[in-house]
C-alpha cells in the first residue's frame, strides 16, 4: 500500500497523531512507526512552525525505525481545517506511509 491521496475518502478511519511544538520527536516517531506497521499509513497534524518542525523530525526518525523491515516511509503534506475552542484553525497534515 502506498501513501494515499492527501484527500482520501475511504471508510477506514485514519490514525491521527497530533503534534505540538513541545512534543518529543522520538516518542512521536515510535508511535508513528507502530501505526504505520499496524495500519499501513498514518496522519500527523500540527499547527504552527514549531509543531510542524517536530512532526518532520519524527518522520525522519521513524524512517530509521522501519527501514530495517524494508519499509521506506514518505509523506504527503496538505492543509486541513480543524476546530479548537470554537475557532477554525488551519493545520498542516502529513500523510505518512510506505513508498510504492
Q: Give, for all 100 residues of the chain, the pLDDT tens digit.
A: 455 554 444 556 777 999 999 999 999 999 999 999 999 999 999 999 999 999 999 999 999 999 999 999 999 999 999 999 999 999 999 999 999 8
Homologous superfamily (CATH) of 16-98 is Alba-like domain (3.30.110.20)
Provide the terminal-to-terminal Cα distance of the chain, rounded to the nearest Å.
Answer: 7
39 Cβ neighbours under 8 A, 6+ residues apart? 12, 15
pLDDT at 1: 44
Reading the block at residue 13, the C-alpha cell is 478511519
d(CA 15, CA 94): 12
pTM, rounded to two decimals: 0.85
* Of residues 54, 93, 90, the one with CA closest to residue 77: 93
Amino acid at each position: 500500500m502506498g501513501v494515499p491521496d492527501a484527500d482520501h475518502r475511504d471508510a477506514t478511519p485514519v490514525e491521527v497523531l497530533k503534534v505540538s511544538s513541545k512534543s518529543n520527536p522520538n516518542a512521536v516517531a515510535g508511535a508513528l512507526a507502530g501505526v504505520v506497521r499496524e495500519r499501513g499509513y498514518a496522519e500527523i497534524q500540527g499547527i504552527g512552525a514549531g509543531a510542524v518542525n517536530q512532526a518532520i523530525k519524527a518522520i525522519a526518525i521513524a524512517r530509521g525505525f522501519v527501514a530495517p523491515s524494508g519499509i521506506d516511509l514518505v509523506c504527503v503534506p496538505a492543509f486541513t481545517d480543524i476546530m479548537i475552542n470554537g475557532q477554525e484553525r488551519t493545520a498542516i497534515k502529513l500523510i505518512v506511509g510506505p513508498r510504492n
